[in-house]
Structure 1
Amino acid sequence: MSNNNDIISPEMLVLIITATVIGTIARLLTIKLDYRQYPNYPNGYLIHVVTGGLASALGAIVIPTLMAKDFAAVTFLALAIQHFRDVRKTERESLLDLEGDEFARRGDAYIDGIAKIFEARNYIAMLVSFTTALTIQLLQEFLDVSRWVEIFVGAAVGLSLFYLLKRFTERQKIGDIASVTEGLMEIKGSDLYVDGMFVSHLMGREEAKQWFLEDGLAAVIHPNHEHYQIPLLNSGQRQAILFETTRRLGQRKLYSVQNPADGKTIIALVPIIKNFQLLKETILLTPLLETVKKNPELFNKHQGTVKSN
């Protein structure tokens, strides 16, 4: 700070602006990574960019306030954390209000996961901004370098932290633990079968039979290991798969069954867009919910196998 406490020095101004911008960029990148889910553009993006920018600004001003020995200002961080918790609550309530307007429900587990992720990403923006500001301050105190070097190094350190946090918080997908094949649909009498497994007995009308045989699609989800049956057989996880499937392909009719004996899950539907490759891709990209990963040590995404004890 300068001698006049009412004026921010150029050094502090560079620090605050750089840290805020880098933190906001980090929040923008996390929104882009979450394209399959809420928020929907453009209003949803605006809301989360603004909250991410505020989180970044809070992270940026911590260092200047400490340098000015204005410790009372740091208490705003506690208020910010409470605000982010309120944002999570608002997101959850908003998504619950929309449940009746979708082709299929997201489910409570999926909604809770989305709300927690958005709260965590505000913390990521704050931490990235704080780290950027701290790096610039250390350079100003101990090294005689130009402002452009300060900006470059601070941004590099902040974005490196963002990369590490993104990797740490990255969620697994169905494609990490299972494969998807196209199922063969058959109708025997009034019963619908997929790959020989009973799905529904509501095929009594000839129109319904013809409808499914001509326009229907069936996908069979196979767990890659017996341990992976645990998340795939969870009702919350299956509901998340159904939501993503119908959100992307649309739905005229939908059935889903599971076989506890081998962990297979069958999805049979008459979509608006008949494209099995799109259906397969959507299922494989569906995130694994945190609530179904009771034993995280079982999942080894990089090798596709179960870790040994």
Structure 2
Amino acid sequence: MPNNDGISPEYLVLIITATLIGTLVRFLSIKLDYRQYPNYPNGYLIHLVTGALAAAIGAFIIPTLMEKEFTAVTFLALAIQHFRDVRKIERESLLDLEGEEFSKRGDAYIDGISKIFEARNYIVLLVSFSTALTILLFQRLLEVDAWVEIVCGSIVGFSIFYLLKRFTARQKIKDIATVTEGKIEIRDSDLYVNDIFVSHLMGREEAKEWFLQDGLAAVIHPNENHFLIPLSNSGQRQAILFEVARRLGQKKLYSIQNPGPGTIVIAIVPIIKNIDLLKETILLTPLLETVKKNPELLKAKVGGEE
């Protein structure tokens, strides 16, 4: 690729286009939603820079191979190790913040988040590589204007991104269950939701008043019986509680969740008392990869994202 005159115009078009498309794909894949992760703006900057590096590596693979600079390809192995380090750093960072949240994410949820950020760098690399390869094929096989090469390369890159995005899309609770409002009752010192025993309140009058006045309860109904297995997973239930507590807030009282007869019951005393927001948050909670050990879960329709 390099010579005494520097990079050729053809390779320059290829490298710049592939790098820009890959970086843009990383930007589009950063979803800042109610979960507020990655945090804006620092999280955006970190992941955009990492994505740009992944895109540049993917763009340079083709020119280095064409010029038989095989030693340069060793940087690909270093990049993969770097992406694994990104996953490790994300995991450690989230674990360090566990004590600062209303409710803990849990190890399973954190592991899933860190894997996603590692995987997205691979997606960027593949998109950039596909874009560069398409442009090279047009340069070698067809005599067309540079802008045609750029447009076609971009189309292929975005198509690969769409396919990979669909392939890696995570299921959500809404794909396997519905959520209804639960009726809270206090019987002596026991907390019930829809006549399902939830917990002992140990005679605390303050706790009883909080649940009766400001408490909210939701009942998760699996669409099929076998979906109760992943919903009962401790890591999955912890992830649900985390999203609920962070979006609605949580007063100085605990939240409780216990399996009922074919259902999962969640009761909480939130800062924001909004049952519709509670149900929406539960339905949008991602299903963790660890719960997919159950083969029957694969029958669920895949929908939505991170």
| TM-score scaled by length of structure 1 | 0.93
Q: 1:6 Cα deviation (Å)?
A: 4.9
Q: 1:30 Cα deviation (Å)?
A: 1.3
What per-residue deviation string (whole Å, max 9, x for no partner) do you get for residues 38-95 of structure 1?
2111101110000000000000000111111111100100000011111111111110
Q: 1:35 to 1:209 in 2, by over 3 A?
A: closer
Corresponding residue number in structure 2 for 1:256: 256
- Percent identity of paired positions between Structure 1 and Structure 2: 74
What per-residue deviation string (whole Å, max 9, x for no partner) do you get for residues 204-228 of structure 1?
2433322211111001111111110
Q: 1:168 to 1:144 in 2, by over 3 A?
A: same
Cα distance in 2 for partners of 1:212, 1:75 equals: 60
- The answer to whether the 8 Å contact 1:187/1:203 transfers is no
Corresponding residue number in structure 1 for 2:72: 73
Unaligned runs of 5+ in 2: none
What per-residue deviation string (whole Å, max 9, x for no partner) do you get for residues 171-197 of structure 1?
000000011000000011121110011
- The answer to whether the 8 Å contact 1:233/1:260 transfers is no
Cα distance in 2 for partners of 1:144, 1:220 equals: 63
- The answer to whether the 8 Å contact 1:12/1:64 transfers is yes
Corresponding residue number in structure 1 for 2:149: 150
Q: What is the correspondence of 1:87-126 to structure 2 with a 5 Å cutoff?
A: 87-126=86-125
Cα distance in 2 for partners of 1:24, 1:177 equals: 34
- Secondary structure, aligned partner of 1:293: helix
Q: Match of 1:32, as an amino acid?
A: K
- The answer to whether the 8 Å contact 2:170/2:302 transfers is no
Corresponding residue number in structure 2 for 1:209: 208
Q: 1:303 Cα deviation (Å)?
A: 8.9
Cα distance in 1 for partners of 2:33, 2:118 equals: 14
Cα distance in 1 for partners of 2:161, 2:190 equals: 52
What per-residue deviation string (whole Å, max 9, x for no partner) do you get for residues 275-297 of structure 1?
11111011000000001111345
Q: What is the correspondence of 1:130-145 to structure 2 with a 5 Å cutoff?
A: 130-145=129-144
Q: 1:111 to 1:212 in 2, by over 3 A?
A: same
Q: What is the correspondence of 1:45-60 to structure 2 with a 5 Å cutoff?
A: 45-60=44-59
Size of the alignment, in residue pairs? 302
Cα distance in 2 for partners of 1:34, 1:299 equals: 26
- Secondary structure, aligned partner of 2:299: coil
What per-residue deviation string (whole Å, max 9, x for no partner) do you get for residues 90-114 of structure 1?
1111100000000000000000111
Q: 1:23 to 1:35 in 2, by over 3 A?
A: farther
- The answer to whether the 8 Å contact 1:199/1:255 transfers is no
Unaligned runs of 5+ in 1: 305-309
Q: 1:200 Cα deviation (Å)?
A: 2.0
Q: What is the correspondence of 1:28-39 to structure 2 with a 5 Å cutoff?
A: 28-32=27-31, 36=35, 38-39=37-38
Q: What is the correspondence of 1:157-172 to structure 2 with a 5 Å cutoff?
A: 157-172=156-171
Cα distance in 2 for partners of 1:59, 1:101 equals: 38
- The answer to whether the 8 Å contact 1:109/1:291 transfers is yes
Q: What is the correspondence of 1:16-27 to structure 2 with a 5 Å cutoff?
A: 16-27=15-26
- Secondary structure, aligned partner of 1:92: helix
- Secondary structure, aligned partner of 2:38: coil
Cα distance in 1 for partners of 2:206, 2:57 equals: 61
Q: 1:260 Cα deviation (Å)?
A: 6.1
More displaced 10-residue stretch of structure 1: 17-26 or 200-209: 200-209
- The answer to whether the 8 Å contact 2:132/2:153 transfers is yes
Q: 1:156 to 1:33 in 2, by over 3 A?
A: farther
More displaced 10-residue stretch of structure 1: 70-79 or 6-15: 6-15
- Secondary structure, aligned partner of 1:192: strand
- The answer to whether the 8 Å contact 1:60/1:130 transfers is yes
Q: Match of 1:139, as an amino acid?
A: F
More displaced 10-residue stretch of structure 1: 75-84 or 205-214: 205-214
Q: 1:198 Cα deviation (Å)?
A: 1.2
What per-residue deviation string (whole Å, max 9, x for no partner) do you get for residues 230-272 of structure 1?
100100000000011111110013322322642x111111111
